[in-house]
Structure 1
Amino acid sequence: MVLDEEDRAPRIGPAVTVYIFSLLAGIAAHRAYHPTGLWLVAIYAVPVAALGWMIVQKRRIRAFHGGAACGSACDSKVYQRRIIALAAAYVALLFLANWLTDRFALDGFAAMSVAVLPALPLVGVIVAIGRLILDEKDEYQRVLHVRQMLVATGFMLAVCSIWGFMESFGQVPHVPAYWAFIIWCGGLGLGTVYNEMRP
């Protein structure tokens, strides 16, 4: 009977995976084709819908387990607030960097400083993820976080290595190095699915 209840437990992994990879695909399509109007809405409709799916699944998981007790759940909420704040800072600094670059003819130290601005919140995300592991009091949850990040790291290294060799042989175009971080975030979705498939 317990096994049947566990089998019926809601899963968030598929929603996370759809969200991350549809967002990556949307960003790539946006950069390649510069769509506007309805095409732009269509490109980002899937990740927005997947984000809604993630929220619904998170609520279903909490309801299934009888509500979240404090402890790991509180740590998770603090982590989520940090990530949301850092994501907002990234968007704001990216717009600011683009505006400053378009508005002023920057060069030298000023240009380099502006170029670094959008990277600072991403460094903050890395620190926040590290703190999530260090602050996690539940040993099992810590193992799940570490395993998820190992999957993400392996995925990123594999994709970057394959792409790098194809690029060196002239088969694919050059991709900026910051895509490694984006690919790693996509790997977090795979890590979530992997955790849900494992006991």
Structure 2
Amino acid sequence: MNASGNLTGRRGITASPVFWGLAFFAVMAVIAGLQIAGVIGASGSLALMLVAGPAMIVPMMRSANRLARESGCGSPAVRRFNTRMGVSSAGYVVALGLGIWCWQQFHPGTVVTVALALAVVVPIFGMIWATARYLHEETDEYLRQRAAIASLYGLGAVLALGSLWGFLETFRLVPHVPGWAVVPVWAIGMGIGQFRMSAGKR
């Protein structure tokens, strides 16, 4: 990335965590599309998700750490945060894939279904804990402020897109979106916030 903040330079766009984040969601969308179209079954979709998800999260976390270092916004607390978020995100992908697959294949009773839902939520608690823990561990006030602003980006994305989609759904212009979609929207919003601040600093 050059001084103007453009996605150019020594490593190019692939060095950006935004690239890996968008690539991750694009790959997940393609897998879902293949399953909906009947090209692959539930088992094939799960296998692809379990391989592609964590495999893309790792370089995304590494690029986030590299961007933090190169923009002068790295710290031990930042690296721990990125690692915790990476582990929680990978756990979320795995739990979500396994939970949906088990529900579709075995049609369990209410108690087991609730347990599957809780298992998917546990990694989300991990993401929330990682964010709160970072704000507690970070000793640099500037970096702590950046994290708080990035969290507001995520919250703003959830509130704005959720409200917009809700009204469009009320007016029967768009299909229903499940509530768990707020987590990816929140994560994308946080990522965009961090990236914009890093790009602006450079």
Q: Could you state the TM-score of these two structures normalised by the residue count of structure 2?
A: 0.71
Verify: 1:91 aligned to 2:93, yes or no. yes
| Equivalent runs, 1:90-129 vs 2, <5 Å | 90-129=92-131
> What residue in structure 1 maps to residue 152 of structure 2?
150
> Which shows bigger deviation, 102-111 or 174-183?
102-111
Structure 1 stretches of at least 4 aligned residues deviating more than 3 Å after TM superposition: 6-12, 50-65, 102-105
Q: Is the 8 A contact 2:77 2:134 kept in 1?
A: yes
Distance in 1 between the 2:65 and 2:100 partners?
35
Distance in 2 between the 1:142 and 1:155 partners?
20
Verify: 1:180 aligned to 2:176, yes or no. no
Q: Computing the radius of gyration over CA atoms, which structure comes out larger, 1 or 2?
A: 1
Q: Is the 8 A contact 2:17 2:64 kept in 1?
A: no
Change (3 A) 1:81 1:194: closer
Instruction: Please give the per-residue CA displacement for 1:14-37, whole angstroms capped at 9, x wherever unaligned.
Output: 823333233333333432443659
Change (3 A) 1:132 1:18: same
| Equivalent runs, 1:1-199 vs 2, <5 Å | 7=3, 15-34=16-35, 48=56, 52=59, 55=62, 58-59=65-66, 62=69, 73-196=75-198, 198=200
Distance in 1 between the 2:93 and 2:82 partners?
17
Code of the aligned partner of 1:7: A
Instruction: Please give the per-residue CA displacement for 1:35-86, whole angstroms capped at 9, x wherever unaligned.
Output: 659xx8xxx7xx95x9758746854764686xx9xxx621122222322332
**Identity level (%):** 26
Q: Is the 8 A contact 1:147 1:195 kept in 2?
A: no
Distance in 2 between the 1:21 and 1:60 partners?
16
Q: Which has the higher contact order (CA 8 A, sep 6+)?
A: 1
Matched pairs, number: 183
Q: Is the 8 A contact 1:97 1:115 kept in 2?
A: yes
Structure 2 SS opposite 1:178: helix
Per-residue deviation at 1:151? Answer: 1.4
Q: Which runs of 5+ in 2 are unaligned?
A: none
Change (3 A) 1:19 1:146: same
Q: Which runs of 5+ in 1 are unaligned?
A: 1-5
Structure 2 SS opposite 1:118: helix
Code of the aligned partner of 1:86: S
Structure 1 SS opposite 2:188: helix
Q: CA RMSD in A?
A: 3.8
Distance in 2 between the 1:163 and 1:197 partners?
29
Per-residue deviation at 1:198? Answer: 4.7
